[in-house]
Structure 1
Amino acid sequence: MSSANLSRTETAARARAVDVHSYHVELDLRGAVDSRRRGFPTVTTIEFTASTTETWIDFLGDSVETVTVNGNRIPVVYDGSRIAVSGLGEINVVTVAATGRYSRSGEGLHRFVDPVDDETYLYTQYEPADARRVFACFEQPDLKAPFTFTVTAPEHWRILSNQAIEQHRRAEGHRTVTFAPTLPISTYITAIVAGPYHRAESTWTRHDLTVPLQVFCRASLAEHLDADEILTITAQGMDFYADHFDYPYPFGKYDQVFVPEYNLGAMENPGCVTFTEAYVFRGAATAAQHQARANTILHEMAHMWFGDLVTMKWWDDLWLKESFADYMGSLVSAEATEFTDAWVAFANRRKAWAYLQDQLPTTHPIVADIVDLEAAKLNFDGITYAKGASVLKQLVAYVGRDAFFEGARRYFRAHAYGNTTLADLLTELSATSGRDLTEWAHAWLQTSGVSTVSLEPATDGGYDIVQTDPRPHRLAVGLYDVDAAGDLVRTRRIELDITDARTRLDLPAAPLTLLNDDDLTYAKVRLDERSLATVDASLDRVRDPLARGLIWSALWNATRDGELAASRYLSMAQRFSRTETNAALLTAVLSNAPTAIEHYLPPPARPAARAAWLEAVWDALHAAAPSSGAQLAFARAVAAAAAMDEHRATDIRAVLDGAAPDGLALDPDLRWSLWTALAATGYADESDLDDELSRDDTATGRTAHLRALAARPRAEVKAHAWASIFADHTLTNDQLDATIAGFRAGSRRELTSPYDADYFAVLRETWTERSIEIARRIVLGLFPDTGSLDAVDGWLATNTDAPAALRRLVIEQRDHLARDLRVQRVNQT
């Protein structure tokens, strides 16, 4: 294991030996506006007690200039990630002066220059362990301390951190600010944001507590920032959490900053939450996009309590913050905002992520065994987020809502500003519910895998609920019949507990019987034959959107498992997407159908299916109501489908030239999607794409231009893209993603297959030489669809000593490929 990859064992030993009292971090960012300067001065002073005479401090940067221990300079012993510190006493003051490096990968202190106005923007992103890229620290979540940040930056910049500015002094051309000390927090949730950001502001008040609310984005995006909606949702979330948590918001102010080239959806830095700029909509946006943004805002706000106030001791218990925040994001959206159907998106899309992850050979319990930081990085996955949230929804049904929230309130009060494990949470929930949760925790938190539940006729005329991989479930069964208007509505609901592989249930026959109605539990659902026939004929007559979401989920899972013919799923997608009124469900269907074509149909069947799908979404685009969310969703689906089939290329160019359907706003992002489709099928050349760039010469436009250029179906284009991915280390994370996407565009295997052997040849070198964030994108993005498992099996067999995190990624990609091949064989019959 490299010295940069901290292990659970060694950090636990350090936590036993060290108790941190405070940090003072000084950053000089005046040189950030000079792109030739790759580094910045950083000085950290740490006060701590120790029961050892020596330890190490973490730092990933260009150099360490000096180390001072209790007033005495000691020799610098630095291996590139750890600074050896000796001569410690019981009480210590250690100062490290070093040079950090500006990031272009979204890890550490990211530097971005806006091509619109040439302004420089900085922001930090640390989770799980990249604070050490900005300042020397004890990089582990259980060594909490107050942080005081002093930052020097150009005079016209805004400078933000977790707390408000306490001191401010100006000098010629720059200013220095010192922020108030934070409350005790972990290193990974400290934050610095600096640059000429645009600001909108408001306040939230409850009793004697007033919280300043601010929203920021780049100046060139200010016209697109719908700050009023963001601030409204923020206030609604504050109201909900104040009512239910009974613990005042603890971090003073509440800033939300939308930042460029972000690696994540958002990050819960207390008092200074950062979000991807994808949530600043440059054009029209669907209701599903607005709902997703609201969910993320409320997810991050929940972290102020679950994660920031009370933090997991080590990354094994990452779920203690992420599962709770994921659950709360949907709950608060549904109960406190206009997005009352948030649970529909959760049931259909969020849980799809969990079901996918939980069926991989690398699946893990919600409470995972995380031995080191590389493993932690990969565990920000569908298990930790969506399965954990699903299980919490089941827990609420099991213990009762009142007991759940009272347990949370006790948890906050008992462990404020501390670190916890699973046992601490279960203690509080057991006390409030009166239930011993030991068996529940074992069944749901300490095991892996997903049950499949189905309804089978019994020999005596009744029905059995059958589940694979049996677990205790609290679930509902809904019976749906046709009403006078011809709609399928629920006529009866039965709620029960099941624990065994087979449970008898007395049910009358119904056209549609829906297991896990209301989505109480976490399980894949199979439709019985009669219900499937009803759905195939009349899915559009199911009026309840949550029921439709569960049905669409059941259909998709059956398709992925090879139990429903991919052609049958595509038929339903073509027929019923046009009448799907829920934006989240429509978005999901329009995403799943192309996946079914490219992954689950055998190759000979794909050309006809691609053409049929393109025609279906093209017709739906023209039939959709002008200026509607459905019209926009189908326009995006046309762009995706047209990258795989050329038959509408002339029509798409006409749309770009002004012949768009009435009401369709061709915003820059949609235009780039259509141009990329034309490029991928050989109907757009470099001059076309350059002309489009002249219309949208923004950061987003330049990245889209890069993707479209790499999408062109020419061997020399693919060769250049491949070389750039591996050799051009100046590519940002977004630019790397765009180049990879362009290389893969159109699924032109005749152009990409020559690189299959090269991919496996450079895997280990890539993992060693690039940061884990960049390496992960390359490993996943370029994994070849070889049509055979031989190459990947050969690599795994000869690289048993490869880093565990790298092997995990390759094993997961192998499993996806194996599933594809298996389901394709089923669909040949």
Structure 2
Amino acid sequence: MTDLPRPTNENLTRDEAAARSRIVRTHEYSVDIDFSRAADAAVDTYPVRTRITFDAEAGASTFLDYLGARVTSITLNGHEVDAAAAVDGARIALGPLAEENEVVIVSESIYSRSGEGVHRFVDPADGATYLYSQNEPVDCRRIYPCFDQPDLKARFHVTITADASWHVAANGELLASHAVRDGVTRREFAVTEPMSTYITTFLAGPYAQWHDEYTGRTASGVEVTVPLGIACRASLSDSMDPDEVFDITKRGLDWFHRAFDVAYPWGKYDQVFVPEYNLGAMENPGLVTLTERYVFTSPATEAQHEQRANTLLHEMCHMWFGDLVTMVWWDDLWLKESFADYVGTLAVDEATDFTTAWTTFASRRKAWAYRQDQYPTTHPIVADIVDLEAADQNFDGITYAKGASVLKQLSAFVGQDTFLAAARAYFAKHAWGNTTLDDFLDALGEASGRDMRGWADAWLTTAGVNRLRVQTTVEDGVIASAALHQDGVDPRTGDEVLRPHVLRVGVYAPTDDEGPAEFEAAFEARIDGASIDVPELVGVAADRAVLPNDGDLTYAKIAQDAHSLDVVLDAGLDDELARATALAGAWNMVRDADLAAERFVDGVVAGEYLIEDSGVLAQVLAQATSGLATYTSADQRQELLARWVAFLVDAVLEDPSTSDRRTVLLRTLFGALCEQRSPVEPVLEVVRAWIVDPDMALGEELTWDAWVTLAAHGAADEAELRAAQAAAPTAVSSTGLTRALAARPDEAVKDAAREAAYTGRSADGAVLSNDHLQATIDGLEIDPTGVGAGHEAEYWQRIESVWGAQTQGQATRVVAGLFPADAEVADGDAQRHPLVVAAREWLSSRAEAPQALRRIVIERLDDLERRLRAQAASGE
């Protein structure tokens, strides 16, 4: 694999992109890629010929973006250009330009192992080679020279040369295949409609395939026929369930055709499940790529199937919102991602048989948003994206989950029909173009008859999360007065932030049999200041539990009164969405050191039998483990973890069926055992027995979670682990082995894993792929015996060189994953803890370090300080 340090001019700024847009208007790319030697591991690069036609300001100069291995030749308007002089790091200078231009570049690009650009994967099951591309936000420049910014759209004509037996695909439909030599063909694909570079895509390998066809109509009666395709690695074909995926795809297309009233505009609709994928999926028009974790080779819960459906429909939403109409620059990344996150969930709820889309959203998706929004690095939903490094960092919980939550609140504010009417008008006006927030607000204002700027300023241009609480007074056993309060502070400025909320306040009544409290009533409330009266609660019996934000309509943390919180944690609520919302509020209280982690866990134990949604169950059980391992005092932690493990073991043994519940319990148990210092030997013996017990039917993912657990406690050696992987060589077992080997409680093992992470290479010098780098970090961080401690100083000495040497995606894994955070509160003052002091000293002395690197450190430091505060509160 070719080693190239990151060029100093790799980080394109917004101002540079805007200046280039003023000079250039792109028309068409012809991209000819040769993958014919991809199966040869000794070949690190592939040839590319790129032809670009574009208009420009006569006499001006500009540049192309390219992160390849080498440029062989450049021809601009028929004249040869000195490549050595034109190529400067990540850029190729062009000029002087004519009004109409054609540039032809012959180059060599690099096969990726990081999931950025064209990723090459060799299947451990059969040795077959697979290629796919991933370009967002700006990794297209790793494949071919281009103007890699979203507003310079063009049509793309692609040809790919590859093994004749391989499945080869791109955005456009396959037009022709021509023999080049024995066993090699050149495939030509249809010219696309205008689109941005980041959604171009390329695929090649012996993928298994399935085909179908969709027929339907738009809301206005336009007939639509779309060829459908599915593909995955051949070794996974027996695990692929194409009928379910096709069914969800067809239902989704029906829903979007009704909701958007615009026929699917991209010809075919292929969905391919690819290995070692950094994302859940990517909305490449005509060829959506998805993580092959959605090809279930192990027992999969209903929540996993629902999550896959959500991802399928999220990406489908992008065919219109993001692909047909695209943001001008990454400042408005939120507009496409938040929209797809919200509308994708809405489509799952309304178009499929899954009934828990909104409970999963309330419990899991919003937890991501709440956490991200409380960091010092939080940002408004409409972020200030000054450069590409910032864009890459902003694929975060604000851009996706908070934005989606706010759009759900917007839909409650103006009405869902109005919201979708605005979307239809937006597509009709801006199809094939680029837009900003103002364009969407104009469409929304026209549809609703309101000026939406005030709403947008309150929700989209400020940061931080509000808190909602209901305050009551009680007389003679009933509520005598009630008020809904909100407060909020922008973490960046310290300024108060109050927003307009449309929500419901729910009332839940206790039952005679000590079962969960039953829904009794809900009252709509609208608040845009600090407080409002809730007269509907006056006269309600004081033994009722009151739930702010019942139905999870708005985005806010909820602070329940002591009585209502006790009801939630002791008896529970009888409504699934209310229960998810209330437990999410309780978890936020744990993170804020307002509720002891052990009290939260007691509530989870008391109510886990009530939780029907396996996604919510998995979330709260994981939060329970995290709370005990992170937010409890050292003198209590191991005893609490031991009790937690004992509960989980008993719960697994009490559930003999291969149910969703047992699958979730097993995953939680293995994670908890990796946190416990000294699990009793019988528990490890039980885990070992489960691996070979056919009645347990663990499947390969849980089996390797079990092996990692044993390895972390010294109960499985290297030979045994390697033998287990050799017996069933798959992608899952390969990364499982890497994680298990790094988890072993041996100082030399930990040192080797740490060095592998910092260098991005294994001990034998092989480049670690994205999945294997992550598995190495994950295994290294599993350290119940503490043998890997004491290397904090090395972290601060090496992270800048890691940032400069590895790709941003790989470097982010290392910097975030190895941050020294295994801290115990000493005197209650988090600011004097040595790990806190070291992080603050690095930040103060590295003001000029890349902002994306500093952001990771700032966020991990905030996690550390929150951990220490919660520990101090737990020990009081």
User: Shorter-normalised TM-score: what interval?
Assistant: over 0.9
Check conservation: 2:124, 2:730, Cα contact below 8 A. yes
Query: Residues of 2 paired with 1:575 and 1:441: CA distance?
Result: 41
Query: Is the counterpart of residue 739 in structure 1 residue 779 in structure 2?
Result: no
Q: Which residue of 2 aligns with 1:591?
A: 622
Q: Which residue of 1 aligns with 2:304?
A: 289
Query: Residues of 1 paired with 2:473 and 2:672: CA distance?
Result: 44
C-alpha displacement at 1:648, in angstroms? 4.9
Partner AA of 1:444 in structure 2: W
Query: Is the counterpart of residue 58 in structure 1 residue 65 in structure 2?
Result: yes
| Alignment equivalent of 1:809, drawn from 834, 839, 856 | 856
Q: Which residue of 2 aligns with 1:467?
A: 486
1:456/1:754 CA distance change after superposition, 3 Å: same
1:203/1:651 CA distance change after superposition, 3 Å: same
Query: Is the counterpart of residue 767 in structure 1 residue 803 in structure 2?
Result: yes
Q: Which residue of 2 aligns with 1:280?
A: 295
Q: Which residue of 2 aligns with 1:491?
A: 520
The secondary structure found in structure 2 opposite 1:351 is helix
Check conservation: 1:456, 1:465, Cα contact below 8 A. yes
Check conservation: 1:756, 1:786, Cα contact below 8 A. no
1:675/1:659 CA distance change after superposition, 3 Å: closer
Partner AA of 1:369 in structure 2: D
Check conservation: 1:642, 1:649, Cα contact below 8 A. no
Which residues of 2 match residues 55-94 of structure 1 at below 5 A?
A: 55-76=62-83, 77-94=86-103
Query: Residues of 2 paired with 1:187 and 1:289: CA distance?
Result: 31
The secondary structure found in structure 2 opposite 1:640 is helix
1:562/1:351 CA distance change after superposition, 3 Å: same
How many residues are paired up?
826
Partner AA of 1:193 in structure 2: L
Check conservation: 2:570, 2:606, Cα contact below 8 A. no
Query: Residues of 2 paired with 1:237 and 1:9: CA distance?
Result: 38
Q: Which residue of 1 aligns with 2:548?
A: 515
The secondary structure found in structure 2 opposite 1:752 is coil
1:719/1:432 CA distance change after superposition, 3 Å: same
The secondary structure found in structure 1 opposite 2:71 is strand
| Alignment equivalent of 1:476, drawn from 496, 504, 510 | 504
C-alpha displacement at 1:94, in angstroms? 0.5
Query: Residues of 2 paired with 1:195 and 1:273: CA distance?
Result: 16
Which residues of 2 match residues 577-726 of structure 1 at below 5 A?
A: 577-624=608-655, 626-645=657-676, 646-657=678-689, 664-726=696-758
The secondary structure found in structure 1 opposite 2:725 is helix
The secondary structure found in structure 2 opposite 1:229 is helix
% same residue:
45
| Alignment equivalent of 1:751, drawn from 779, 782, 787 | 787
Query: Is the counterpart of residue 526 in structure 1 residue 544 in structure 2?
Result: no
Query: Residues of 1 paired with 2:668 and 2:356: CA distance?
Result: 23
Q: Which residue of 1 aligns with 2:568?
A: 535
C-alpha displacement at 1:584, in angstroms? 1.3
Query: Residues of 2 paired with 1:620 and 1:658: CA distance?
Result: 15
1:765/1:658 CA distance change after superposition, 3 Å: closer
The secondary structure found in structure 2 opposite 1:479 is strand
C-alpha displacement at 1:210, in angstroms? 1.0
Check conservation: 2:690, 2:696, Cα contact below 8 A. no
Query: Residues of 1 paired with 2:16 and 2:67: CA distance?
Result: 18
Query: Residues of 1 paired with 2:599 and 2:35: CA distance?
Result: 58
* TM-score normalised by length of structure 1: 0.98
1:660/1:113 CA distance change after superposition, 3 Å: closer
C-alpha displacement at 1:814, in angstroms? 0.6
| Alignment equivalent of 2:37, drawn from 23, 31, 45 | 31
For 1:520-564, what per-residue CA distance to the aligned partner results, in whole angstroms no more than 9, with x for missing partners?
A: 10000011111112223201xx22100110111111011111111
Query: Residues of 1 paired with 2:443 and 2:329: CA distance?
Result: 20
For 1:314-354, what per-residue CA distance to the aligned partner results, in whole angstroms no more than 9, with x for missing partners?
A: 00000111000000121111111111220000011100100
The secondary structure found in structure 2 opposite 1:518 is coil
1:198/1:794 CA distance change after superposition, 3 Å: same
Check conservation: 2:167, 2:206, Cα contact below 8 A. yes
Check conservation: 1:622, 1:661, Cα contact below 8 A. no
Q: Which residue of 1 aligns with 2:828?
A: none
Query: Residues of 2 paired with 1:108 and 1:727: CA distance?
Result: 20
Q: Which residue of 1 aligns with 2:159?
A: 150
* TM-score normalised by length of structure 2: 0.93
Query: Is the counterpart of residue 360 in structure 1 residue 382 in structure 2?
Result: no
Between 1:724-733 and 1:210-219, the stretch displaced more is 724-733
Between 1:482-491 and 1:759-768, the stretch displaced more is 482-491
Check conservation: 2:625, 2:668, Cα contact below 8 A. no
1:111/1:71 CA distance change after superposition, 3 Å: same
Structure 1 unaligned spans of 5+:
none
The secondary structure found in structure 2 opposite 1:249 is coil
Partner AA of 2:499 in structure 1: R
Query: Is the counterpart of residue 800 in structure 1 residue 847 in structure 2?
Result: yes
C-alpha displacement at 1:691, in angstroms? 2.2
C-alpha displacement at 1:589, in angstroms? 1.3
C-alpha displacement at 1:580, in angstroms? 2.3
Query: Residues of 1 paired with 2:562 and 2:596: CA distance?
Result: 14
Query: Residues of 1 paired with 2:257 and 2:822: CA distance?
Result: 53
Query: Residues of 2 paired with 1:582 and 1:767: CA distance?
Result: 40
Between 1:294-303 and 1:644-653, the stretch displaced more is 644-653
Q: Which residue of 1 aligns with 2:3?
A: none
Partner AA of 2:501 in structure 1: H
Partner AA of 1:130 in structure 2: D
Check conservation: 1:128, 1:377, Cα contact below 8 A. yes
Partner AA of 1:482 in structure 2: P
Check conservation: 1:478, 1:513, Cα contact below 8 A. yes
CA RMSD of aligned residues (A): 1.5
Query: Residues of 1 paired with 2:693 and 2:584: CA distance?
Result: 31
Query: Residues of 2 paired with 1:263 and 1:60: CA distance?
Result: 19
Q: After the TM superposition, list the runs of 4 or more consecutive aligned residues in structure 1 that deviate by more than 4 angstroms.
A: 483-487, 658-663
Query: Residues of 2 paired with 1:711 and 1:94: CA distance?
Result: 52
The secondary structure found in structure 2 opposite 1:638 is helix
Q: Which residue of 2 aligns with 1:821?
A: 868
Partner AA of 1:533 in structure 2: D
Partner AA of 2:814 in structure 1: I
Query: Residues of 2 paired with 1:498 and 1:660: CA distance?
Result: 58
Between 1:698-707 and 1:256-265, the stretch displaced more is 698-707
1:72/1:662 CA distance change after superposition, 3 Å: closer
The secondary structure found in structure 2 opposite 1:30 is coil
The secondary structure found in structure 2 opposite 1:149 is strand
Between 1:485-494 and 1:369-378, the stretch displaced more is 485-494
Partner AA of 1:189 in structure 2: I
Query: Residues of 2 paired with 1:562 and 1:218: CA distance?
Result: 46
C-alpha displacement at 1:166, in angstroms? 1.4
Partner AA of 2:633 in structure 1: P
1:185/1:153 CA distance change after superposition, 3 Å: same
Between 1:464-473 and 1:137-146, the stretch displaced more is 464-473
C-alpha displacement at 1:458, in angstroms? 4.8
The secondary structure found in structure 2 opposite 1:767 is helix
The secondary structure found in structure 1 opposite 2:230 is strand
Query: Residues of 1 paired with 2:30 and 2:320: CA distance?
Result: 24
The secondary structure found in structure 1 opposite 2:722 is helix
Query: Residues of 2 paired with 1:649 and 1:254: CA distance?
Result: 53
Partner AA of 2:251 in structure 1: Q
| Alignment equivalent of 2:589, drawn from 558, 569, 572 | 558
For 1:654-707, what per-residue CA distance to the aligned partner results, in whole angstroms no more than 9, with x for missing partners?
A: 454458889531211111101100111111111221221122211221111011
C-alpha displacement at 1:502, in angstroms? 1.9
The secondary structure found in structure 2 opposite 1:519 is coil
Query: Is the counterpart of residue 187 in structure 1 residue 223 in structure 2?
Result: no
Q: Which residue of 1 aligns with 2:334?
A: 319
Query: Residues of 2 paired with 1:698 and 1:627: CA distance?
Result: 23
| Alignment equivalent of 1:131, drawn from 118, 133, 140 | 140
C-alpha displacement at 1:466, in angstroms? 1.5
Q: Which residue of 2 aligns with 1:304?
A: 319
Which residues of 2 match residues 69-468 of structure 1 at below 5 A?
A: 69-76=76-83, 77-171=86-180, 172-207=182-217, 208-458=223-473, 461-468=480-487
Check conservation: 1:644, 1:681, Cα contact below 8 A. no
C-alpha displacement at 1:786, in angstroms? 4.8
Check conservation: 1:458, 1:464, Cα contact below 8 A. no
